[in-house]
Amino acid sequence: MADAKTARAEWGTRFGFLMAMIGAMVGAGNIWRFPYVMGENGGGAFVLAFLVLLFLLAVPGLMAEVALGRYTNKGVIGAFRDVLGRGGLVGLGVIVLLVNIALMSYYSPLIGWTLYYAVHSLLFTFTATGFEAEPFMETFFANSALMIGLHTVVMGTVAAVLLLGIRRGVERLVVYAVPALVIALAIMTVRGLTLPGASEGIAFTFGVQWGYLFEGSTWIAALGQALFSTGLGWGIALTVGSYLREYDDVPLGGGIFTAIGESSIGILAALAIFPVVFAVGVEPDAGAGLAFVSLVQVFPEIPLGGLVAVLFFVGFFLATFTSGVVITEVSVTTLTEETKYSRKQTVLGVCGLIWLLGIPSAYSADILDYLDFVFGNWGLPLATLAIIGVIGWVLGPERLRLLVVNRNAGIYVGKWWDPVIKYVIPAVMIFIMAYFAWEDFGSPEMIGGMLVIVLFPIIGYGVMSVLEGRGGGPDAADVTGGDD
Amino acid sequence: MVLTAEVIGMLVFTLAAFWGLATWSLVRTMRQEGRKVEILEQQDRMDTYSPEALAELREWIQANPDDPLVDDARRRHNECIEALEETDRRFYDWSDKEIDRLERV
């Protein structure tokens, strides 16, 4: 039976909360996607579009999500119940939970990739004589047993951190890992910028092609980056916000700092990566091709390349691992509250389930890519729609702003915020889902996405109708976080 | 390759807009946290709303007397006034005149 749940945990320090937000939001996308997307979409023109969308959508959205967690002091399902009352509609929280579990099931094998390359960077494999990047990556991706093994190590390590609780586990990890990532990228930037030919990388990334500002594709790319990179509406900000202390601010730290800070790491990654890539004359790329081929080819060519590889891959691993820990915490927090199991039992159960569900993605990178596309384009926007929709249309943005956002706040948030939450963000989410359905009409990915959009709400509604109807739910299990 | 003024300008703008703003918000929120801790070491509570935010909350309470959350709003509003009246150090920029004019709702 569960051990006693006596008091809900809180972040030990303000810095811990801020680093948890950044650690959760900065992931693979900031490192291997953002720099290339920026360079390919007009450089400076993309930056302007991205900045506008960050302030229009991500900053207000994150404020709302953190505020809901702060107001209810509960995980996703509990927060939805507080707003909607008992009943099947609480199943909207189940959608968020299911999407998070699905997301982590294919993100964990990806963390395994970064772990593998981090270990090899420490062994100076990439600068060894006769090393070839492409065959190395192909051999690695073809080794399913190794992939599953790495996925197992990752989920085991995530569980170990979460077992320690919010303060001693999550907070202690992020307060060191996030600054370490920034320092690693900063050192790599200095190394890159001092190489002959580095200016071409700067020109690729920061050159301004104003014409791109008038192209729809630039705004779609900026929109995707602004929403998916900041993790808006995935339940992460809600969960992290639910552990805030009595006098903590929401809008300055949870909104502005989180959105701009995590994007700043993408900018730093661009400065760290492309000067080095261009200095050596390697073609720029995105995704695994950039991190595991282009960059790996670069390291032997530059002075101190072995050490630069260590900085990059250890930093890359920290970025993905901290995201994995906080994404998993979303389910752990909610299920600890919603069931009679202890945090320890919940951590083991959730991590075990994610491990099991992640085996197909670890076995085959194609399955991982498929799930990434399906959940990236439909699952995650659906979760965002659930959270922001409930805030905008049930709780009401004005109430939330007056009662929570502006209480103990570091900045004052005015009335402009209300229509953004109520109309703009939900409309953008519906647009994204429709846009990608149109773009990929009839494809297996689109069919998978439609199944998620239809089945997840039905499952959520059905499960909560049964559970809430039975009068189930937490008795004394209103407490989570582990260590206080 | 020599970088053009436009590229350098965009680089500087991007660094200022992202790293400048991120650093500003981090420093500001950490300083505010330090001030809150300092205040709470001397007294057991403190003001929770700025003058502008409290005025807006009061207006909303008066305009929505039947709202299901109005009791919670009243409690938060009055709690802030009590803290302002009963403590010496304030977090927000309240003048004595402003505090004297405040009324519970």
Instruction: Give the model confidence (pLDDT) of A437-453 as tens digits.
Output: 999 999 999 999 999 99
User: Which of A250, A402, A403, A417 should we substitute to test contact with B (largest number of B Cβ atoms within 10 Å)?
Assistant: A402
CB-based contact, A44 to chain B, within 8 Å: yes
What is the phi/psi pair of residue A341, to 5°?
A: -80, 150
Q: Is the pLDDT of residue A152 over 50?
A: yes
Which chain A residues have a beta carbon less than 8 Å from that of B18?
Answer: 51, 260, 263-264, 267
CB-based contact, B53 to chain A, within 8 Å: yes
CB-based contact, A179 to chain B, within 8 Å: no
CB contact under 8 A, B10 and A206: yes
pLDDT value, residue A484: 46
CA distance A280 to A206: 19
Judge whether A382 and A95 are in contact, CB under 8 Å.
Answer: yes
Q: What is the DSSP letter of B90?
A: -
User: Which of A189, A260, A413 should we substitute to test contact with B (largest number of B Cβ atoms within 10 Å)?
Assistant: A260
Give mean pLDDT, residues A53-66: 97
CA distance A452 to A46: 31
Sequence-ordered list of residues with C-beta below 8 angstroms from that of A296, at least 6 positions apart, any chain: A117, A126, A133, A136, A137, A309
- What is the fold of A14-469? Amino acid/polyamine transporter I (1.20.1740)
Q: Is the pLDDT of residue B16 over 50?
A: yes
**CA proximity to A388, closest of A83, A65, A94, A82:** A65
CB contact under 8 A, A18 and B46: no
Which of B19, B22, B73 is opposite residue A402, by nearest beta carbon?
A: B73
Give mean pLDDT, residues A136-155: 97
CB-based contact, B57 to chain A, within 8 Å: yes
Which chain B residue shows the shortest CA-CA distance from A259? B22
Q: Is the pLDDT of residue A5 over 60?
A: no
| Dihedral angle over CA of A428, A432, A434, A437, nearest 10 | 180
Q: What is the DSSP letter of A123?
A: T
CB contact under 8 A, A412 and B52: yes
Judge whether A61 and A433 are in contact, CB under 8 Å.
Answer: no
At residue A469 the predicted structure's pLDDT band, cuts being 50, 70 and 90, is: confident
CB contact under 8 A, A197 and B1: yes
Mean confidence (pLDDT) of chain B = 96
User: Which of B3, B12, B18, B90 should we substitute to test contact with A (largest number of A Cβ atoms within 10 Å)?
Assistant: B18
Distance from CA of B88 to the nearest CA of A (A): 17
CA distance A66 to A88: 24
pLDDT value, residue A1: 39
pLDDT value, residue A442: 95
CB contact under 8 A, B15 and A267: yes
End-to-end CA distance of chain A: 19
- For chain B positions 63-102, those within 8 Å of chain A (CB to CB) are 67, 69, 72-73, 76, 91
CB contact under 8 A, B6 and A207: yes
Which chain A residues have a beta carbon less than 8 Å from that of B3?
Answer: 199, 202-203
At residue A6 the predicted structure's pLDDT band, cuts being 50, 70 and 90, is: low
At A267, is the secondary structure helix, strand, or coil? helix
Q: Is the pLDDT of residue A3 over 60?
A: no
Q: Is the pLDDT of residue A4 over 80?
A: no
The angle subtended at Cα A282 by Cα A280 and Cα A286, nearest 5°, is 130
Which chain B residues have a beta carbon less than 8 Å from that of A72?
Answer: none
B36 burial (CB, 10 Å; 0-12 / 13-18 / 19+) is buried
pLDDT value, residue A477: 40
Token output for A52? 């506008």
pLDDT value, residue A480: 53
Q: Is the pLDDT of residue A287 over 70?
A: yes
Give mean pLDDT, residues A200-212: 90
CB contact under 8 A, A407 and B2: no
Residue type, A476: A
Q: Is the pLDDT of residue A479 over 50?
A: no
Least confident of A208-212, A281-285, A301-305, B93-97: A281-285
Distance from CA of A18 to the nearest CA of B (A): 8
Least confident of A143-157, A211-225, A467-481: A467-481
**CA proximity to B37, closest of A241, A15, A73:** A15
User: What count of other Cβ atoms lies within 10 Å of the Cβ of residue A168?
Assistant: 16
Which chain B residues have a beta carbon less than 8 Å from that of A43?
Answer: 10
Give mean pLDDT, residues A11-40: 93
Q: Is the pLDDT of residue B92 over 90?
A: yes
pLDDT value, residue A39: 85
pLDDT value, residue A285: 77
Distance from CA of B93 to the nearest CA of A (A): 12
Give mean pLDDT, residues A79-101: 96
User: What count of other Cβ atoms lies within 10 Å of the Cβ of residue A416?
Assistant: 8
Residue type, B77: H
Least confident of A56-70, A76-90, A332-346, A469-483: A469-483
Burial state string for A188-220 with b = 16 or more CB within 10 A and e = fewer than 16: bbebbbebeebbbbbbbbbbbeeebbeeeebbb
Give mean pLDDT, residues A104-131: 97
Token output for A145? 């047993």
User: Which of A247, A248, A274, A413 should we substitute to test contact with B (largest number of B Cβ atoms within 10 Å)?
Assistant: A247
Which chain A residues have a beta carbon less than 8 Å from that of B50?
Answer: 406, 409, 412
End-to-end CA distance of chain B: 68
User: Which of A209, A257, A263 should we substitute to test contact with B (largest number of B Cβ atoms within 10 Å)?
Assistant: A257
Q: Is the pLDDT of residue A473 over 70?
A: no
Q: Is the pLDDT of residue A40 over 90?
A: no
CB contact under 8 A, B73 and A264: no
CB contact under 8 A, A202 and B11: yes
Q: Is the pLDDT of residue A197 over 50?
A: yes
Give mean pLDDT, residues A80-104: 96
CB-based contact, B19 to chain A, within 8 Å: yes
Which of A264, A409, A412 is opposite residue B22, by nearest beta carbon?
A: A264
CB contact under 8 A, A44 and B49: no
Axis crossing angle, helix A444-469 with helix A91-122, rounded to the nearest 10 = 120
**CA proximity to A112, closest of A368, A474, A327, A442:** A368
User: What count of other Cβ atoms lies within 10 Å of the Cβ of residue A414?
Assistant: 12
Axis crossing angle, helix A172-193 with helix A258-280, rounded to the nearest 10 = 40
User: Which of A206, A225, A418 should we substitute to test contact with B (largest number of B Cβ atoms within 10 Å)?
Assistant: A206
Judge whether A43 and A340 are in contact, CB under 8 Å.
Answer: no
Q: Is the pLDDT of residue A284 over 70?
A: yes
Which chain A residues have a beta carbon less than 8 Å from that of B81?
Answer: none
pLDDT value, residue A227: 87
Q: Give this complex's ipTM.
A: 0.96
Q: Is the pLDDT of residue A318 over 80?
A: yes
**Per-residue model confidence as pLDDT tens digits over B26-80:** 999 999 999 999 999 999 999 999 999 999 999 999 999 999 999 999 999 999 9
**What 3 state SS string does A177-235 have?**
HHHHHHHHHHHHHHHHHCCCCHHHHHHHHHCECHHHHHCHHHHHHHHHHHHHCCCCCCC
At A43, is the secondary structure helix, strand, or coil? strand
Burial state string for A22-57 with b = 16 or more CB within 10 A and e = fewer than 16: bbbbbbbbbbbbbbbbbbbbbbbbbbbbbbebbbbb
Judge whether A65 and A237 are in contact, CB under 8 Å.
Answer: yes
CB contact under 8 A, B29 and A253: yes
CB-based contact, B59 to chain A, within 8 Å: no
Q: Is the pLDDT of residue A2 over 70?
A: no
Mean confidence (pLDDT) of chain A = 93
Give mean pLDDT, residues A369-392: 95
